[in-house]
Amino acid sequence: MSAFVALLARDVRLATRAGGSAMLALAFFAAVATLVPFGIGSEPKLLARVAAGIVWIAAVLAGLLALDRLFQADYEDGSLDLLALSPVSFEGIAAAKIAAHWLTTGLPLTILSPLLALLLNLPTKAYITLFVSLLVGTSAISAIGGVAAALTLSIRRGGLLLPLLVLPLLTPALIFGAGAVLAKLDRIENGAIWFLAAFSAVAVLLSPFLTAAALRFNLAE
Amino acid sequence: MGALPPVIFVEAERLACVRGGRPVFRDVSFRLERGQALVVEGPNGSGKTSLLRLIAGLLAPADGTVSFSSGAARADDGEERGRFVGWLGHNDASKPQLTAAESLRFFARLYDATGDSIPALLETVGLSRAAALPCQYLSAGQKRRLGLARLKLCGRPVWLLDEPLASLDSAGKSLLLDFVREHLAAGGLAVIATHDPLDLEAARLQLT
pTM: 0.92
Q: Write out pLDDT tens, residues A45-102.
A: 999 999 999 999 999 999 998 898 899 999 999 999 999 999 999 999 999 999 999 9
CA–CA min distance B86, chain A (Å):
8
Adjacent-strand bridge partners of B40: B193, B205
| Strand B63-70, strand B73-75: pairing | antiparallel
- Tell me whether residues A7 and B56 touch, CB distance under 8 A: no
Contact A6 B94 (CB under 8 A): no
Instruction: Examine the pLDDT at B2 and tell me if it is beyond 60.
Output: no
**pLDDT at B145 > cutoff 90:** yes
State the DSSP code for A65: H
Residues A61/A28, Cβ–Cβ less than 8 Å: yes
Strand pairing category for B158-162 and B22-33: unpaired
How does pLDDT run across A195-214, given as a tens digit for each residue?
999 999 999 999 999 999 99
More confident residue, A66 or A28: A28
**How do residues B84-115 score in pLDDT, each as one tens digit?**
999 999 888 889 999 999 999 999 999 988 77
A218, A155 Cβ separation under 8 angstroms: no
SS3 of residue B19 by DSSP: strand
Please tell me the predicted confidence (pLDDT) of residue B1.
42
Of B82, B107, B109, the CB nearest to A84: B82
The amino acid sitting at B167 is S
Minimal CA–CA distance to B53: which of A3, A77, A84, A29? A84
Question: Which residue in chain B is spatially nearest to A88 when comparing CA positions?
Answer: B110
Helix (H, G, I), strand (E, B) or coil at B2: coil
Nearest Cα neighbor of B33 from B75, B77, B69, B5 is: B69
CB contact under 8 A, B95 and A14: yes
List the single best residue of A24, A85, A90 to mutate versus B (max B Cβ within 10 A).
Answer: A85
Which residues share a beta bridge with B66?
B12
- Answer whether residue B6 shows pLDDT above 80: no
Q: Which residue of B has its CA nearest to A14?
A: B97
What proportion of chain A, given as a percentage, has pLDDT over 90? 84
Q: For an interface test with B, which of A13, A16, A82, A91 has the most B Cβ atoms less than 10 Å from its Cβ?
A: A82
Express as a percent the part of chain B with pLDDT over 70.
97
- Nearest CB partner across the interface for A84, out of B58, B102, B107: B58
Name beta bridge partners: B19. Answer: B22
B156-205: per-residue pLDDT in tens? Answer: 999 999 999 988 999 999 999 999 999 999 999 999 999 888 888 888 88
Alpha-carbon distance of A142 to A98, in angstroms, equals 6
Question: What is the distance between the alpha carbons of residues A8 and A102, in angstroms, rounded to a whole number?
Answer: 11
8 Å CB contact between B72 and B64:
no
Q: Complex ipTM above 0.90?
A: yes
Confidence check: pLDDT of A166 > 70: yes
Whether A136 has a pLDDT exceeding 70, the answer reads: yes
Which residues in chain B have Cβ-Cβ distances shorter than 8 Å to A79? 93, 95
Percentage of chain A exceeding pLDDT 70: 100
B158-162 and B189-193: which strand pairing? parallel
Confidence band (pLDDT; 50, 70, 90) for B206? confident
